[in-house]
Structure 1
Amino acid sequence: MKRLTLLISAILMTGSILMQAQVYKFDFSIDKKVKDGYIKVTSETLFNNERGYGYDLLPSWDGKSNQPFFFSLNVPDGNYKVTVTLGSKKEAASTTVRGESRRLFVENLSTKKGEMITETFTINKRNPVISGKERVSIKEKEKKKLNWDDKLTLEFNGDLPRVNSLVIERVENIPTVYLCGNSTVVDQDNEPWASWGQMIPRFFTDQVCIANHAESGLSANTFIGGKRLAKILSQIKEGDYLLVEFGHNDQKQKGPGKGAFYSFAYNLKIFIDEARAKGAHPILVTPTSRRRFDENGKSVNTHGDYPDAVRWVAAKENVPLIELNGMTAILFNALGVDNSTKAFVHYPAGTFPGQTRTLKDNTHFSTYGAYEVSKCVIEGMKKADLEIVKYLRPDYSGFDPAQPDSFESFKWNLGSFTENEKPDGN
């Protein structure tokens, strides 16, 4: 009986290990023969919880359409290495891959007829559960977001998206960069809104994972109060990074004990102390500049004492600082009063479905603006000498905010969902 018990225990343990190490392989090719060890995906492979994988959100892909499509897989919280082979035997293609709420990973990858190119990246998946009955206090509209569910969802977009195969596997021992912030950092779900946090994954190899926990409208204290930091602390490990950018919404808080060098500085120290207690590296980021110019056409600071408070706390606590406020001011000065509108959500009525009024927002970024600001963050990482910059992709050639990329050279295939209401916060 004892031997039987040991045998059963060994089998259960082996099964547990196999489940934890499970690799999901999907064959999207037009070949009739299925690749060994792969699951064949057809136009009838639609996602449901019973199956646990399949085409999601939009009509399934038939291998011929040039329309974007989504593919989802139910997986536990964690980091997942994605290996995707793009291309077609029948035609030239151009494919962009985004994940969860429009996080950019593979950008405008062109393949010739018959050419297949394999790309890898690492993506973070999470749900609101912390432990037991403890949950992140997410907003009602966040319940519809792809960031806070049980699925890992990939979006395939581009001029002519073509996917041959997809492999998804759990990974543990790579550094994770957790992002804390507001609407300038969050993964914006819908066009035309975007933030730097969802663009920055594109520039890192699969040896780094970006986990963006930011949300629109939040300040340092409401991020903590909503148990978002608690969620991060339940997962963060030694050697990970915690990037913290607040200020936009904090500066609107009034009353006793409020202020840049009072409650705001106090809350920043909470992030620092909690990260260090887990063996992680806290990084402070000064708030991105808004689009506001003086009579001489020069960018002005709209954040009062809050950027200085971030600098003060960083120096006092010996924490690396990313000077995003200064770099974005340089960026917007370089673009100029008129052209800087391209970095923000400025669009005439009728640009997007159901948009009956002009959009003029001088806080929230367009996709182009978010892309440029994400490069500013990377340059800040380099200046701070963060070890993770060694994992930048080879095609990242550096960035000077005084010489921004041409708006005309920036190519972004619109996502399938739009929203005309501005994000929370300002």
Structure 2
Amino acid sequence: MKRIISLTSVLFVIGCLFAQAQVYKFDFTPDKKVKDGYTKITPETLFNNEQGYGYDLQPAWDGKSNQPFFFSVNVPDGNYKVTVTLGSKDTTGNTTVRAESRRLFIENLPTKKGELITESFVVNKRNPKINEKEKVKLKSREIKKLNWDDKLTLEFNGDAPRVSAVVIEKADNVPTIYLCGNSTVVDNDNEPWASWGQMIPRFFTDKICIANHAESGLSANTFIGGGRLKKILSQIKKGDYLVVEFGHNDQKQKGAGKGAYYSFAYNLKIFIDEARAKGAYPVLVTPTSRRRFDSNGKSTNTHGEYPDAVRWVAEKENVPLIELNGMTATLCDALGVDGSMKLFVHYLAGTFPGQTKDFKDNTHFSTYGAYEVAKCVVEGMKKADLDIVKYLRADYKGFDPAHPDNFKSFKWNLCPFTEIEKPDGN
């Protein structure tokens, strides 16, 4: 009996230590006094793997600068609730918080001098490992993406970023929305490229997590073949969601067995069946419209039969459908032939470092466009009566793609990193 009690005690102590190790607390205030249980962060606290946390990627923050900065913490795979205390006792502030590959969570939050505001959100952290023998087949351009490393990285941006404290803790039990898709969904690390998958976390509370596994250039079958669905299936649990948007790259596949109602529909069925086998809820999304207008100045479909194939599979399998193809066409029509350029990556040469030619991309979204399309997806979730809409933030006021937000009212502080090469796919 004594041995059993002793062993139980040891296991209890180990369990407590493990639980403590899943909570990370950092104090960014300039005061010499350190909060109980917190680690004091100074401009000398630079990230290294031995320490496991610190300022990363850019110069450290001195507590006064208005330049964006990054802070990273080594953590295992999983979902993490991040609680940030924003503001300063000495100055006013205006802070935007993004995580990993530019996922937006807190947008332009103002603080008065002496005012501290606490906000929480949940971040999904992952690496390519599926199991002891398998890994996700990353593209060469993905290898250095923040989404796939061993760190959870926070970006503090805005007109005057101010942070007083950060707490990071495991959040295993929140429902997770897994996103599968291509370059219209992917988290982009670098300006000026953006997609709806990295904007949509901003509209949800800390009661849910969004795990975006999309990658540019992928089709439904290459997503599966690269081990990306298998990675999701290694983590997805009962009550989670699997949201699937493909079509842009699938439509280019030619040959025997290829086609909207052949290989494409077959692969969509795989996503549905695998999600249901895990007790998760599949959701299909029609592909976003490209910027293409007919002679009458109306947005025109460039996807052939593929949007209809998604609709057909959704109806046949009794799966909720988000009609993103139609909503993004409405969005383009509302802004018109010229105004709709704001939704996509259209910038004159020299706008970004190293950009020697004009960007004229009618598939990939600007940050403004990605933000508007993310709102379309939220509206699609509401129309499909998905249970997850109960986790929308109180400041989400609804959206009508026929009446988009004024471009001039959209404020986005640029990330320090830019990329001239466009995402794969078109």
> Which TM-score tier does this pair reach, normalised by the shorter chain?
over 0.9
TM-score scaled to structure 1, two decimals?
0.98
SS of the aligned residue for 1:43 comes to: coil
User: Equivalents in 2 of 1:20, 1:195: separation in Å?
Assistant: 35
Q: Tell me the equivalent position of 1:141.
A: 141
Question: Residue deviations 1:129-171, cap 9 Å, x none?
Answer: 0111211111111110000011000000000100000000001
Aligned-pair CA distance for 1:311: 0.1
User: Equivalents in 2 of 1:411, 1:365: separation in Å?
Assistant: 15
Tell me the amino acid that sits aligned with residue 106 of structure 2. V
CA RMSD of aligned residues (A): 1.0
Aligned-pair CA distance for 1:220: 0.1
Tell me the amino acid that sits aligned with residue 77 of structure 2. D
Question: Residue deviations 1:72-108, cap 9 Å, x none?
Answer: 0011111000100000111111000000000000000
User: Equivalents in 1 of 2:291, 2:98: separation in Å?
Assistant: 28
4+ residue segments displaced more than 3 Å: 2-6
Gaps of 5+ in 2: none
Q: Tell me the equivalent position of 2:18.
A: 19
Tell me the amino acid that sits aligned with residue 16 of structure 1. G
Aligned-pair CA distance for 1:9: 5.5
1:67 maps onto 2:99 in alignment: no
Q: Tell me the equivalent position of 2:404.
A: 404
Aligned-pair CA distance for 1:30: 1.4
User: Equivalents in 1 of 2:191, 2:405: separation in Å?
Assistant: 21
Q: Tell me the equivalent position of 2:155.
A: 155
Q: Tell me the equivalent position of 2:227.
A: 227
Tell me the amino acid that sits aligned with residue 207 of structure 1. K
Q: Tell me the equivalent position of 2:9.
A: 10
SS of the aligned residue for 1:131 comes to: coil
Tell me the amino acid that sits aligned with residue 188 of structure 1. N
1:78 maps onto 2:78 in alignment: yes
Question: Residue deviations 1:364-389, cap 9 Å, x none?
Answer: 00000000000000000000000010
Paired positions, count:
425
Alignment of 1:80-119 (within 5 A): 80-119=80-119
Q: Tell me the equivalent position of 2:383.
A: 383
Aligned-pair CA distance for 1:20: 3.9
User: Equivalents in 1 of 2:36, 2:381: separation in Å?
Assistant: 42
1:314 maps onto 2:301 in alignment: no
Aligned-pair CA distance for 1:280: 0.2
Aligned-pair CA distance for 1:281: 0.1
User: Equivalents in 2 of 1:8, 1:204: separation in Å?
Assistant: 43
Task: Give the 3 Å change call, closer, same or farther, for CA 45–5 of structure 1 in structure 2.
Answer: farther
User: Equivalents in 2 of 1:232, 1:17: separation in Å?
Assistant: 29
Alignment of 1:316-335 (within 5 A): 316-335=316-335
Alignment of 1:294-305 (within 5 A): 294-305=294-305
User: Equivalents in 2 of 1:17, 1:188: separation in Å?
Assistant: 38
Q: Tell me the equivalent position of 1:293.
A: 293
User: Equivalents in 2 of 1:185, 1:405: separation in Å?
Assistant: 20
Q: Tell me the equivalent position of 2:206.
A: 206
Between stretches 272-281 and 130-139, larger displacement belongs to 130-139
Question: Residue deviations 1:332-369, cap 9 Å, x none?
Answer: 00010001000000000000111111111000000000
Q: Tell me the equivalent position of 2:419.
A: 419
Aligned-pair CA distance for 1:3: 3.8
TM-score scaled to structure 2, two decimals?
0.98
Q: Tell me the equivalent position of 2:52.
A: 52
User: Equivalents in 1 of 2:179, 2:19: separation in Å?
Assistant: 26
Tell me the amino acid that sits aligned with residue 14 of structure 1. V
Task: Give the 3 Å change call, closer, same or farther, for CA 263–74 of structure 1 in structure 2.
Answer: same
SS of the aligned residue for 1:130 comes to: coil
Aligned-pair CA distance for 1:5: 7.2
User: Equivalents in 1 of 2:221, 2:347: separation in Å?
Assistant: 33
Q: Tell me the equivalent position of 1:186.
A: 186
Q: Tell me the equivalent position of 1:126.
A: 126
Alignment of 1:349-388 (within 5 A): 349-388=349-388
Task: Give the 3 Å change call, closer, same or farther, for CA 17–259 of structure 1 in structure 2.
Answer: farther
Question: Residue deviations 1:197-247, cap 9 Å, x none?
Answer: 000000000001000000000000000000000000000000000000000
User: Equivalents in 1 of 2:203, 2:224: separation in Å?
Assistant: 29
Aligned-pair CA distance for 1:304: 0.2
SS of the aligned residue for 1:135 comes to: coil
SS of the aligned residue for 2:190 comes to: coil
Gaps of 5+ in 1: none
Between stretches 16-25 and 118-127, larger displacement belongs to 16-25
User: Equivalents in 1 of 2:361, 2:4: separation in Å?
Assistant: 66
Question: Residue deviations 1:17-45, cap 9 Å, x none?
Answer: 43145311000011111111100000011
